[in-house]
Amino acid sequence: MTSDHTIETRRSGLGHERTVTGGSEVYGNEGSAACHSKDAELPRMSLRLNLSWNLLGNLVYTGCQWSMLMVIAKLGTPQLVGRFSLGLAITAPVITLASCQLRMVQATDARRDYSFSDYLTARLACLIPAVVTIFIISILSGHSSVVVAVIMAIALAKSFESVSDIYYGLIQQHERMDLVSKSKIIKGVLSLGALAAGIYFTRDVFWASVCLAVAWGIVLLGYDVRNGRRILKWYPQGREWKATLRQNWRAVGALIWLALPLGVAGLLNSLRTNIPRYYVVGYIGEADLGLFSAVSYLMVAVLAVVYAIGESAAPRIARYYAEGRVRAYTGLLAKLSGLAVCSGLAGVGVSWVWGERLLAILFTPEYARASNALVLVMVATTVTSVAAVMNYAMTAARSIGVQLPIFALVCAATAIVCNFTVPDHGISGAAEGLLAGSAVHLSLSFIVVYRALRKLKPNQNKLAG
């Protein structure tokens, strides 16, 4: 028998047998079953440990991002803060659409319908036209060349972040949020230092944004990709699971089509968050946009806690729903919602008692006049926190298409309220628009989850019988 037809049984480093036929590796039933049953090769962490790590990473990362605004405010002017925030407001909706929330789909892909390379290829295929679209929008919007340069530098940074997000999804899928958390901590500290150096030496928000993009690119290539390769080595599911772009484009297209409603929903959700900013910069100007951005970023800080909880629990929520375990599914959702409410109310209390003083200390005394808007933003944050938990529940139940009309209505409610309140109430009116959209979001998403739960009950009864 020639070497091309040699059949040899080897032992992988994981203790699973694999057969090598003609130079190609084919994993036996033991390895395949392990990969699809309990993923026993790489020890998973408990939900509590995953939550702790993810909470730590999100808090550090969000704190560093908020510190970026503080640095620009301390070393620059509210106008520079507004210009940086405008770049984020323009790039975020487009990048969010291009991402199609693939990480959420990936983390809740309990049946492993798609390989990691499918997700990576889909993300890169969508990012390229997204960056081109951002450039076209920035030009057609009539912004100066300086503002366009800032927008494109931020677009580059967001692109690096988007690719890292796919590697986070791979790691999250296997419930090892410690690796994601460490990446966020490194990225947060490094990006804060890079942006601070850029703004300190140049007093130019463009070069600060370039430094930010470089920092995120370094973390992607130097840390996230390496972690992804480690995970893939632990889960040897064949060539199609390797971090390559040699893909079945039909599968990639099907994945994009599956996640597209989530992408559009994410676009609308991002627009809902940024619509108040568009009204502020349109009616009041870049300086007041800087004030509102500093206030509304506290919303991001609180939501970071909620997302840390939801991201850690998302695979388990999906597993409970797929297995028809009604009591476990509803119990976990109740716990997550309770934690979301507690974190949101804590933010409301802090902003009510110390909001004006904190804004003056953290930024400059000029920002203290935004304290009333801060309280309204934190109330909206509490409502949004519970709605975010419902989003994870909807995705786990594969109620994906319905999220599009939900966020469309949320966007419409936010725009309608802002149209009437921002001209009269300024940045407080923008916060009122956020609150209105959050209330609509929570109400509609709760109805969808309740209907999905009713469909799940017969499965539970069948299993019980």
Residue 96 to residues 186, 203, 359: CA-CA distances in angstroms?
23, 29, 29
Find the DSSP H helices in 220-325: 225-234, 249-283, 286-322
**Cα(118)–Cα(122) distance, integer angstroms:** 6
Q: Are residues 12 and 68 in the same domain?
A: no
Q: Clarify whether residues 24 and 63 are in a common domain.
A: no
| pLDDT, position 1 | 42
Are residues 13 and 99 located together in one domain of the fold? no
Half-sphere exposure of 166 (CA within 13 A, CB side): 29
In angstroms, the CA 393 to CA 108 distance is: 10
Can you read off the two tokens belonging to residue 269?
């959700």
Q: Give yes or no: residues 440 and 412 share one domain.
A: yes
Residue 18, strand partner residues: 10, 27
Residue type, 46: S
pTM of the model: 0.74
In this structure, how many other beta carbons lie within 10 angstroms of the beta carbon of residue 448? Answer: 18
In the chain, the amino acid numbered 445 is S
Q: What share of the chain is helix, strand, coil (3-state, %, to 5)?
A: 80, 5, 15
Sequence-distant (≥ 6) Cβ neighbours of residue 219 within 8 angstroms: 160, 164, 183, 186, 187, 190, 191
Residues 429, 329: Cα–Cα separation, whole Å: 38
Angle in degrees, CA 345, 391, 40, rounded to 5: 105
Cβ-contact 168, 183 below 8 angstroms: yes
Q: Please tell me the predicted confidence (pLDDT) of residue 244.
A: 58
3-state secondary structure 46-65: CHHHHHHHHHHHHHHHHHHH
14 and 124 together in one domain? no
Number of domains in the chain: 2
Residues 170 and 145 in one domain: yes
Q: Which residue has the tokens 């971090």?
A: 243
d(CA 399, CA 384): 19
> Which domain does 173 fall in, by range?
42-464
Same domain, 443 and 301: yes
Are the beta carbons of 431 and 276 closer than 8 angstroms?
A: yes
The partner residues of 21 in beta bridges, in order of sequence, read 7, 24
In a shared domain, residues 37 and 96: no
What distance separates the 2 farthest-apart alpha carbons in the chain? 86
Nearest Cα neighbor of 288 from 149, 83, 453 is: 83
Look up residue 218 and give its two tokens. Answer: 């370094």
Query: Nearest CA to 371 among 354, 353, 356, 350?
Result: 356
Spatial CA neighbour of 161 closest among 269, 84, 61: 61
As to burial, measured by CB atoms within 10 angstroms (0-12 exposed, 13-18 middle, 19+ buried), residue 118 is buried
Residue 243 CA to residue 227 CA, distance in Å, equals 11
DSSP for 184-204, please give it: HHHHHHHHHHHHHHHHHHH--
In angstroms, what CA-CA distances link 461 with 6, 88, 329, 455? 51, 48, 14, 11
Residues 150 and 128 in one domain: yes
- Position 399 scores a pLDDT of 77
When computed from its CA atoms, the radius of gyration of the chain, rounded to whole angstroms, is: 23
Token pair in block for residue 5: 């037809």
Helices H / strands E in the chain, number of each: 15, 3
Q: Which residues pair with 20 in a beta bridge?
A: 8, 25
CA distance 313 to 108: 10
- Same domain for 50 and 12, yes or no, is no
Residue type, 176: R
* Same domain, yes or no: 59 and 35: no
Q: What tokens does 270 get?
A: 């991002």
Q: pLDDT in tens for each of the 465 residues of the chain?
A: 444 333 333 333 333 333 333 333 333 333 344 444 444 456 666 767 877 887 788 888 888 988 998 999 899 888 899 899 999 999 999 999 999 888 888 877 767 778 888 889 999 999 999 999 999 999 998 888 999 999 999 999 999 999 999 999 888 877 788 888 999 999 999 999 999 999 999 999 999 999 999 999 999 999 999 988 888 877 655 444 455 565 678 888 888 998 888 888 788 878 988 999 999 988 988 888 989 988 888 787 777 777 777 777 887 888 888 878 888 888 888 888 888 888 788 888 988 999 889 888 888 888 988 889 999 999 999 999 899 888 888 888 777 778 788 889 999 999 999 999 999 999 999 999 999 999 999 999 999 988 888 877 555 444 443
- 169 and 33, same structural domain? no
Contact 336, 126 (CB under 8 A): no
Burial of 203 (0-12, 13-18, 19+ CB in 10 A): middle
